[in-house]
Structure formats: structure tokens, C-alpha cells
A = this chain, B = another copy of it.
């Protein structure tokens, strides 16, 4: 408890949760880091495909990047329209639920879950690769650093991150300005004599280029985030959000273009202990302080990009839980007002991915982009339906634009699945339907529960049952525990029976039926005693048999009152035999038994029973 508070901070009152509203530049920091930081791994994913056809094929990096920039502009245009249509935040789940029905929206939700999880794993591993490129000595510890970063991000999110956008602003600006400046310097400065130009490009098959293009689609992940986060912006919201979306598109396009040109200019090839981006940066400015500043900014921005998913997935899963597609616990906020269960699950899944991939970004790339692009496709398709239904001015043009976006991203999704299927994409192709099956199973369960409970309706009449019959399981050694239990039982009803289970005596200290009966007679409480000689070496089994065997009339009004000794510490819990707990959980499985627990503590002082007073006595 105390350690938890030390790490996570004291519980927050709800009024502590202020709403900060952001402008366009802050929006870039808060919502577009996932997209911008993709330059750290997207172009490298293209190059990893190209290099298999020889160094000369690296020339194709430029046309492929241009094609990606074309797709990017189409996406930015499409999402500007989403911002227009869904000022309350138009995530793929919300848009497809509104326009395409619950079945399709479940697919969108599953795709988003996969996407958020992979974003965390890939961003962190890419960030650590940027770090180990700059500081090769840290390379053997890459996976450990990945997990440490994940732990820090998780912990910060469990605390609840306040004022995030403003805190993110500085590293975001250093990253954008630094990287662009560094690229600009790379264009103008004279070439180092050691750099030989790439060999001339040989013709390659179209399918090969499509494979490289599909791999590059990972660079476009995250452009949807601004459209999801419209409510975070200051008024005029939609205008500011759209401005941020175009700003993001422009910067990302510039970075992709610059990186492609410089890679070719400096004849950089992927592979080895350094990322391609790091090699380009070194070729441009050497191991100068500028290099280190930008490298660190890349690491921080990637970690912050992972952080964005920690905002997104728990929120999405709380919405899914409210819609009955995930366990209700995902809709519960923790003491720090965050949706803790979603955070825990995301952290665990990302840790698994990092460990399974050994912290290697390129091993995770084949799994990425499918979820994102499925989301793109569904949300654009939903927009087409939206325009056709709503029919505002220029609806046909708008529908056409979104339709083009849906087509392009749909083709890209298919291309990605086909070209990366055997490298790992099949995992996602299997997991998304499994998630949908899970969502539906959970929903069916809640439907059944709701059929029994009929929540939200006025229930039937309340009719007090007859006074219950109280069964008090007692230990064969009479003690203060027994006395307290009988005290409490008699306060609930006059119909009380104490039940003792006797095992074969194993030592002379063990009570026999006769000795227990004698002790009871000496004590003379106003309660009937039943003694059962157990056929088994268990007290639970005969106790349950006794309770099940009560007369049909008593069946309707059984209360089993379990005296429980509650230790002060978890250490103490181990020292008690848990028979009470075992009995209670066996009884929970039965219909129409009320279980009453009477806890008693080691340090408890003896509390004398107060005298009867007038108010009592039905």
C-alpha cells in the first residue's frame, strides 16, 4: 500500500483532474509524435527490402518515398474531413460503429488494439536503437533498456500524466528543428572524400518495389491520432486540429523526402549496429554535439510516442468495456483516475513483444501497419457512408476523396499482408479475428447476465423472507471465536444451529463426540449443537452435505455464518488453515445460501455485547 503510494502518488480526487486545452503547436507535441517518429524506422524498413537486390537498388528509395508522400497527402486530406465530421473525436472505432455497424466496428477495435500495442513495442525498440547507435557501448543492454523505458512509461501513466502536451513541447521542437536543420546541412556541405556514389540502379520486378512500398507504409502510422483528439484543442477546435494535421503532413513529408535524398547522396545502406537514420546523420554532421542532441531527441520522442498509445489503448478499452465487449473492469478508473487495467495489459503485451523480438525493431515491422491500415480503410469507408447519408454541400466530392483514401489504404493493407505474410504478418491476420471472437463472446455473456438482472429497470416487489436459519460451523475446540459467532448469529435469528465436524482423533488432545457434547452442556449456550463424524479427512465436504441436506423449508432461508480469524499480516494468513475461506467459496457456488463472515483480529480487544435496547425487537 505504502510502496504503491510512493510510486504512484496519493489517490486523486476527481476535481484534481483539470482539463488542459491545447493549440496547434502543442497539438503537434501531444498527438503527432507517433507519426513523426515513424521516420526513425519507416524508411529503414524500405531500405531493408531494397538492399536484398543489391546496393544499386537503394536508388529506388526516392520514388518509393515520393509514392508514400502521395499516400500521406491523401490521408491528411481524408482526416481533415474526419475532423470536420466528428468534432467529438473520430477514432476508427467510433466512425465505423456509427456508419458501418457493430460487426465492422469490432474489427476496427481489434485492429486498433493490435496497433496500439505494436506502437509501444516498436517505438521503444526504435528509440533504444537510436540510443545504442549513438552510444554503441550500451548495445548489449538494448533489451534491458527497452524494458526499463517501458517500465518508466507504464509507471508514469499509472500515476496519470498531467500537463503532458506542454512537457512534450521541448523535445518535439528539438526533434523537428534539429533533424530538419541537420538534413539541410547534409544537402549543402561538401561530400566527404571517403563516400563513393551508389552503383547504378538495375531494373527490378514491380512486385519487389510493391513489397518495399508496403514496408514503408509503417512510416505513415499515427496520422489518424489528431482526428481522434479533436476535443483536446482550444476553440475553434476543428480549425486548429486541421491546421495541426496539415502541419504534421508537411513536416513528415519533408523528413521522408530529405532522408531518402540524403541516404542516396551518402550511399548509406541499412544493417549493422547502427540505424540508417543515425548513419545518415553521422555522414551529414559527424559525431558532433549536434548529432548527439538530435539522437537523444529521437530517443525521447520515440519514448513519448509509446506514451501516446498508453493514452489511447486504455481509453479505447474503457469504451469497449462500456459497450460490453471487454470485461467491465477495463472501464474502472484507479486511484489516480487512470484506467489502470488497460495500462497493465498494454504494458504486459508490449513487454512480451519486446522480449520475443529481442528488442529488434525490424523484427516487429512485419506485424505493424496492418492494424493501422485496417483502421484507415474502415474509417475512410465509414466516412464515405457518412457523407452519402448526411449529404452536406460538396458531399459527392468529399465522399470521393474519402473513397480514394479507403481504396488506397485498403490496397496498401492487402499489399502488406501479402508481402509480409510469412515474415510475421500472419500473426496479426490470426489475432484480429480472434480478438473479434473474444469481443463477441464477452458481449454474449453480458447479454445473458443482463437478461437475468434486467438492470436499469424497476425491479419486482421487495418481500422480506422469513427469519433465516443460521448454521454456524464451529471448531471442535470451543473458543472465543465460537462465542463471538454465536453472539452474532443470535442477533440475526432465533433459529441457530452450531455444527462441528469431528475427524478421527489423531492425538489425545483431540476432542471426541462425548467430550465436545459435555463441554457444550457445561457452557449451555441457547443454541442447538450438531456433531458430525466425518467419513473423510475433510471438514468442508461433510459441512456442505449438512447444509445441502437441510429441510426444503429451511433451504429457502439458509444463512451460513462463518467465524473467521483475520491475521494482522499476509505472513499471518499463511498460518491459518483457510477452512473458512474454502467453505465460503464452496458455498458461493450454491444457490440461495447467504454467507455471513464474522472477522476477528489478533489484536482485537474484547468488546462486551451492549445491553439490548428498546429500538430492537421486531
Q: A residues bordering B, Cβ < 8 Å?
A: 11-15, 322, 327-329, 332-335, 337, 442, 445-446, 448-449, 452-460, 462-468, 475, 477-483, 486-488, 490-495, 503-504, 506-507, 509, 511, 519, 522-523, 525-527, 534-538, 541, 553, 556-557, 559, 564-566, 572, 574-578, 584, 587-602, 604, 607, 609-610, 612-613, 615-618
Contacts and interface: CB of A to CB of B under 8 A. Distances in A.
A331 to B, nearest CB: 8
Contacts of A486: 462
Contacts of A483: 459-460, 462
Contacts of A491: 464-468, 557
A615 B467 CA distance: 9
B442 A455 contact: no
Contacts of A494: 618
A467 B537 contact: no
Nearest to A456: B477
A37 to B, nearest CB: 31
Given A523-B459, A607-B556, A615 B466 contact: yes
Nearest to A322: B507
A178 to B, nearest CB: 40
Closest 6 CB pairs of A and B: A464-B490, A333-B537, A466-B616, A459-B483, A465-B491, A453-B479
Contact of A541 (B11, B442, B538, B591): B11
A464 B487 contact: yes
Contacts of A492: 467-468, 492-493, 559
Number of copies of this kind of chain in the complex: 2
A590 B541 CA distance: 30
Contacts of A597: 584, 588, 594-597
A508 B563 CA distance: 44
Contact of A538 (B11, B458, B488, B610): B11
Contacts of A475: 455
A76 to B, nearest CB: 31
Contacts of A333: 537-538
B594 A588 contact: no
A467 B618 contact: yes
Contacts of A537: 12, 14, 332-335, 337
Contact of A327 (B453, B526, B574): B574
A228 B525 CA distance: 45
Most buried by B among A327, A478, A479, A559: A479
Contact of A616 (B467, B599, B610): B467
